[in-house]
């Protein structure tokens, strides 16, 4: 995504441009409201930036808005919260429509047990057991503000909110919650996993296709536009 966006912006700016994003997403993860900034000496109307950039992007990437900000703004470091949604299709048969958009899991899941486990992750913890081994973050300590699990029929949505996340953290959280939901472990197993600080002690890493970056929040003084881009399932 970054390379394609840089090339598109550079065409409109008529100069080599480097873009900085609010966060990185793995291959296969969907970013519905990614925020990116760049510095340029070029002067274009917001509408011209928007249409020009989109004209030069591949079909699977689109810019929703453009806004000038002051030099203090940084897409990554100015962010105050990031929200992700992970989608699971929980039924015996796979879906052609939701292929590459949800994790198809055929075993029955108990979301009450999953929510109980999720509540044990809230607050500040050492998440060493739930980050990728190649994670380059300086500290494994993060603060989870919210984990909410919703079920509508065969569809399960897990909403996760924090200021920042470790590499693969949300996908590894999902691996733990799914193991609890299918009955492999009790909800209290979360405490054992976190205390171990060992990635091998946790569950599998959930596939990337079910994960959506849904929102990046910034201080109100920036007055950034908001776009409703939630994956609509109900």
Give the span between the Cα atoms of 180 and 136, in whole angstroms: 28
Residue from 175, 132, 174 nearest 157 by CA: 174
- Helix/strand/coil (H/E/C) assignment for every residue in 82-93: EEEEEEEECCCC
Give the span between the Cα atoms of 139 and 165, in whole angstroms: 11
Among the listed residues 14, 16, 26, 154, the single catalytic one is 26
Strand partners, 161: 83, 146
26 an active-site residue? yes
Inter-residue contact 106 to 88 (CB < 8 Å): no
- Give Cα 163 distance to the centre of its chain: 12
Name residues whose C-beta falls within 8 Å of residue 139's C-beta, 6 or more positions apart in sequence. Answer: none
Task: Using DSSP, state whether 157 is helix, strand or coil.
Answer: strand
Inter-residue contact 191 to 120 (CB < 8 Å): yes
Q: Judge whether 84 is annotated as a binding position.
A: yes
Conformational region of residue 91, where left means phi above 0, alpha means psi within -120 to 50, and beta covers everything else: beta
- Binding-site positions: 84
- Binding-site positions for substrate: 84
Q: Indicate which residues carry an active-site annotation.
A: 26
């Amino acid at each position: 995504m970054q390379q394609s966006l840089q090339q598109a912006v550079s065409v409109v700016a008529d100069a080599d441009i480097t873009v900085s994003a609010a966060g990185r997403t793995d291959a296969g993860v969907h970013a519905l409201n990614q925020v990116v900034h760049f510095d340029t000496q070029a002067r274009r109307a917001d509408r011209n930036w928007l249409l020009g950039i989109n004209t030069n992007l591949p079909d699977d990437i689109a810019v929703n808005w453009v806004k000038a900000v002051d030099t203090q703004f940084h897409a990554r470091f100015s962010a105050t919260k990031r929200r992700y949604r992970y989608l699971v299709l929980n039924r015996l048969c796979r879906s052609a429509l939701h292929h590459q958009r949800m994790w198809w899991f055929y075993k029955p899941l108990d979301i009450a047990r999953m929510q109980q486990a999720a509540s044990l992750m809230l607050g500040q913890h050492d998440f060493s057991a739930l980050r990728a081994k190649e994670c380059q973050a300086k500290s494994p300590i993060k603060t989870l503000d919210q984990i909410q699990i919703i079920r509508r029929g065969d569809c399960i949505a897990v909403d996760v909110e924090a200021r920042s996340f470790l590499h693969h953290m949300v996908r590894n959280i999902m691996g733990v919650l799914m193991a609890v939901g299918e009955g492999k472990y009790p909800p209290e197993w979360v405490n054992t996993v976190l205390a171990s600080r060992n990635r091998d002690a946790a569950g599998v890493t959930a596939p990337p296709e079910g994960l959506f970056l849904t929102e990046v929040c910034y201080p109100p003084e920036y007055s950034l536009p908001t776009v409703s881009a939630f994956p609509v399932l109900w």
